[in-house]
Structure 1
Amino acid sequence: METSGRSITPLWSMTLDLPPSCIEFCPALPDYFVVGTYNLQKEDATDGESTFEDEEKQVTNKLVQNRNGSLVVFRLTDAEKIEHVQTVLYPSAILDIHFHPHQERGTVMAVVSSTGTLSFFKLSTSAGSVSLQEISTHKPLGEGEGVLFLSCSWHPSIPSLLAITTSDYQVHILQVSDTWDVCKASTGPLVSHTLEAWTVAFSPFVEGLNSETPGALEDSSQLLILYSGGDDSKLLSSTCAYTAARTDDDLHDLIEAPYPAVAVRGHEAGVTAILPLDLRLSSSTSVIVSGSYDDHIRVFSIYEQIEGAPLHMPRLLAEQNLQGGVWRLKLIKLEKMAEDATGKKQWWTALILASCMHAGSRILEITGDGAEVCEIKVLGRFEGHKSMNYGSDFQPGTEIRERNLRCVSTSFYDRLLCLWEY
């Protein structure tokens, strides 16, 4: 099993004004990407260097955090350089950003912050120029400023659903309207951890319920799977029933969790990244990839819940030590399995970009068969950062086999932004 991979050198780098916490390319405008920054103001700063996640754990000791941030727009040029386009100052620190996955909304980005705000921004084009414009800002869980929104995730196929995680251990799903208004899809949190809820992701699979389905809530309900990870070392798989036809004056929630969450065991520290793959090993088995503070990336097979109970408990298929906490995972490309002439399923391959905190960035290849044989290889490693790598992304379109994969990665305390290729 390959554990090191090819060393990658930077093509270009620059120092940012504020520490970068997250980054994402715009899928609709693939030459442009946005960096979110997180600035702990000097009067709250402590002697010595604390980690980004340590600062989040201190939130319970302070009602109001003196943090601010910014959204910085860049353009990737053909000359292998990064051009600054715009900086939008933000009154809170930015924790996570994600562009909408649907093409018609692909220039709109969700932004979550250290004061419990959710904002929507749009990359707009006019007369050949691009600018980031605020659409709306909301406080979907109330007006208090003591709770941080730690991460967010769009549903891959239901455009109105956005999940968020909080520093007070909760996971919520929000309903986003066509006019970018927001309401909670359930009265309370759908999932609760016992420590900070670091990350959340939706399964790409949606199942319809009907009156013949045991335990079905309504004929029009859809069955969703929500994965969440917390500082309690737990990865939870929660089955949710979503009824889009319900109205605002309906007494029932839009989303309900009829069954207890299933715990995916095997992590030795907080679960910080979850990447569900659009892949079925069987009609009832899917695959997720996780990252943890314990420096490991892991691959699990997850079984459906039938009447509240999984057919089998989740199974660990593979794991690999990446020499650094695995903070974020981004799918570059998934080549799905096919069937041969005998009907036997063949191997699948997932190419993944991992942000590994003090170890830098990694290009990973995960391969598996139609059963539960799986292998993880480190193909490349970028170690040009001198502090925590919390954010990395690749330019859409460069994952095509004939081109070099163009990546941009960031590091927190040295405020470094690097361009490199694999």
Structure 2
Amino acid sequence: MADTASAGGEIPRVEGDVEVIAASTSITLDEPICCAASSQHLLREVIRTGFGVLDLKSSPRGTDMFAVAGSNGNLVFYFIQNINGVYLREFCSIDLCRGSVIITYLDWVSTVGEKDKIAMACSDGTLGVVHFDARDPSSCSSTSFVSIHIQQAWYVAWDGFDEQRLYSGGDDAHFCTFEDPLIVLPRTNQGRGPSDEAIADFQPSVRDKRTHTYGVTAIVPIGKGTDGESIVLTGSYDNRLRILRRRKAVLSWQTIAETDLGGGVWRISFLEHLTNIQEALSTGVSFNIRLVASCMQDGPKIVEVGFEGDSNWSIRTLARVPGHQLNYATIAMPHQTDHGPRTLVSTDFTNRQAHVWRF
């Protein structure tokens, strides 16, 4: 949590922190949707970072390690361990960007063996990829940076249904698709990737400039249709949540459903597992799946996405969560099944609060 200035100029020193909060998944609330009592959720530990925290991602391997994107351009790894009441331990820090460039978003995936990779979006419009040993991130083997967006890059996402595909979105309203990025990202530095050395002439395989009227702030791949074409959800400053389909023949994206959520759609997080969605999409079987959208000034919203086969998609808003002035993040706590009430945690940037609630 931190206060940050515009990424366009010099960024003043900011003091952020990483907090560990214990929240029970068995709480009982008086309302179907509301903020839970503070006594039910305990702040375990706070670590002052000395930099603003722009994003945090857990290891995809299910370990207790997570990575933090810092306003100082560093990628910092922590462990969560309960040792004599001390929960957080810093593992290592990798210096990646120089000057006023900050890392705005991370996407961490595992690859073959013990190798992992993290894709990064940066405030100067560049994208970066860091490769490292999953057991020891300080063993960073290579970093690659490319100049893609003409304004801040807000989001980057690996396609979990096509391991050689990468997506990005920026303040320039461009939605970019990259094929085989592990091969074509050209610059390699041992443990360091300064943004002022980024390759300027590298271009994505598809650069969509028409779909979004304002910045692209969320990209979530959900699978491939019966024709093998990719399906993704996107969020934007233009208040719209969209479902897009890749059209291979003309190298473009088609909007197949969209809705106005009344606030800038900063982040999207699914409440159910996506493991069965790919099979349903590929066979044309109907399904409904719920997600939560962080709609900035309009707060979190529970949304249902429906698929009825033959490219017939629908989006409807189920509920709006009150009590937020500026909501940048919402996530559902782990749950064994997709049925029953869910416990969610959301943030309010303006009030510097974390809300815990049930749906």
- TM exceeding 0.5: yes
Q: For residues 320 and 193 of structure 1, what CA distance do their matches in structure 2 show?
A: 26
Equivalent residues of 1:399, 1:405 under 8 A apart: no
The structural deviation recorded for 1:364 is 1.1
Equivalent residues of 1:239, 1:259 under 8 A apart: no
2:48 counterpart of 1:101: no
2:334 counterpart of 1:396: yes
- Identity percentage of aligned residues: 25
Letter in 2 for 1:173: V
- Distance change in 2, residues 1:249/1:379 (3 Å): closer
Q: For residues 249 and 352 of structure 1, what CA distance do their matches in structure 2 show?
A: 38
Q: For residues 326 and 384 of structure 1, what CA distance do their matches in structure 2 show?
A: 17
1:131 is paired with a residue of what secondary structure? strand
1:68 is paired with a residue of what secondary structure? coil
Residue 286 of structure 1, aligned match among 225, 230, 241 = 230
Q: For residues 131 and 303 of structure 1, what CA distance do their matches in structure 2 show?
A: 47
Q: For residues 407 and 339 of structure 1, what CA distance do their matches in structure 2 show?
A: 26
- Distance change in 2, residues 1:384/1:260 (3 Å): closer
Q: For residues 99 and 408 of structure 1, what CA distance do their matches in structure 2 show?
A: 15
Deviations 1:196-250, CA, capped at 9 Å, x for gaps: 000111101346xxxxxxxxxxxxxxxx11110000011111112536xxxx899
Q: For residues 295 and 337 of structure 2, what CA distance do their matches in structure 1 show?
A: 20
- Distance change in 2, residues 1:185/1:139 (3 Å): closer
**1:265-276 equivalent positions in 2, closer than 5 A:** 265-276=210-221
Q: Which structure's CA Rg is the greater one?
A: 1
Letter in 1 for 2:152: E
- Distance change in 2, residues 1:249/1:362 (3 Å): closer
Equivalent residues of 2:148, 2:203 under 8 A apart: no
Give the structure 2 partner of residue 420 of structure 1: 357
Give the structure 2 partner of residue 136 of structure 1: 92
Equivalent residues of 1:65, 1:115 under 8 A apart: no
**1:160-309 equivalent positions in 2, closer than 5 A:** 160-177=116-133, 178-181=135-138, 182-186=140-144, 188-189=145-146, 192-206=148-162, 224-242=164-182, 260-264=204-208, 265-277=210-222, 279-282=223-226, 284-303=228-247
**1:243-392 equivalent positions in 2, closer than 5 A:** 260-264=204-208, 265-277=210-222, 279-282=223-226, 284-303=228-247, 312-333=251-272, 334=274, 335-336=276-277, 345-385=284-324, 387-392=325-330
The structural deviation recorded for 1:383 is 1.6
Give the structure 2 partner of residue 23 of structure 1: none
| Larger RCO of the pair (alpha carbons < 8 Å, separation 6+) | 1
Letter in 2 for 1:400: D
Equivalent residues of 1:337, 1:346 under 8 A apart: no
Q: CA RMSD in A?
A: 2.9
**1:74-113 equivalent positions in 2, closer than 5 A:** 74-77=21-24, 78-79=26-27, 81-103=40-62, 106-113=63-70
2:6 is paired with a residue of what secondary structure? helix
Equivalent residues of 1:324, 1:358 under 8 A apart: yes
Q: For residues 12 and 280 of structure 2, what CA distance do their matches in structure 1 show?
A: 55
- Distance change in 2, residues 1:384/1:157 (3 Å): farther
Q: For residues 2 and 148 of structure 2, what CA distance do their matches in structure 1 show?
A: 26
- Distance change in 2, residues 1:371/1:156 (3 Å): farther
* 5+ residue gaps, structure 1: 1-36, 41-54, 208-223, 251-255, 305-309
The structural deviation recorded for 1:154 is 1.0
Letter in 2 for 1:165: A
- Distance change in 2, residues 1:330/1:157 (3 Å): farther
1:194 is paired with a residue of what secondary structure? coil
- Distance change in 2, residues 1:349/1:259 (3 Å): farther
Deviations 1:83-117, CA, capped at 9 Å, x for gaps: 110001001100000101122xx311110011101
The structural deviation recorded for 1:283 is 5.4
Deviations 1:312-337, CA, capped at 9 Å, x for gaps: 52111111101100111112223426
Q: For residues 204 and 124 of structure 1, what CA distance do their matches in structure 2 show?
A: 29
Give the structure 2 partner of residue 125 of structure 1: 82
2:102 counterpart of 1:152: no
Q: For residues 74 and 160 of structure 2, what CA distance do their matches in structure 1 show?
A: 26
Deviations 1:44-87, CA, capped at 9 Å, x for gaps: xxxxxxxxxxx333x42x2x522120001000134452111000
Equivalent residues of 2:110, 2:116 under 8 A apart: no
2:5 counterpart of 1:65: no
Residue 3 of structure 2, aligned match among 13, 16, 39 = 39
Q: For residues 366 and 157 of structure 1, what CA distance do their matches in structure 2 show?
A: 30
Letter in 1 for 2:136: T
The structural deviation recorded for 1:375 is 0.5
Length, aligned pairs only: 330
Give the structure 2 partner of residue 11 of structure 1: none
1:168 is paired with a residue of what secondary structure? coil
Equivalent residues of 2:104, 2:123 under 8 A apart: yes
- Distance change in 2, residues 1:201/1:274 (3 Å): same
Q: For residues 79 and 341 of structure 2, what CA distance do their matches in structure 1 show?
A: 29
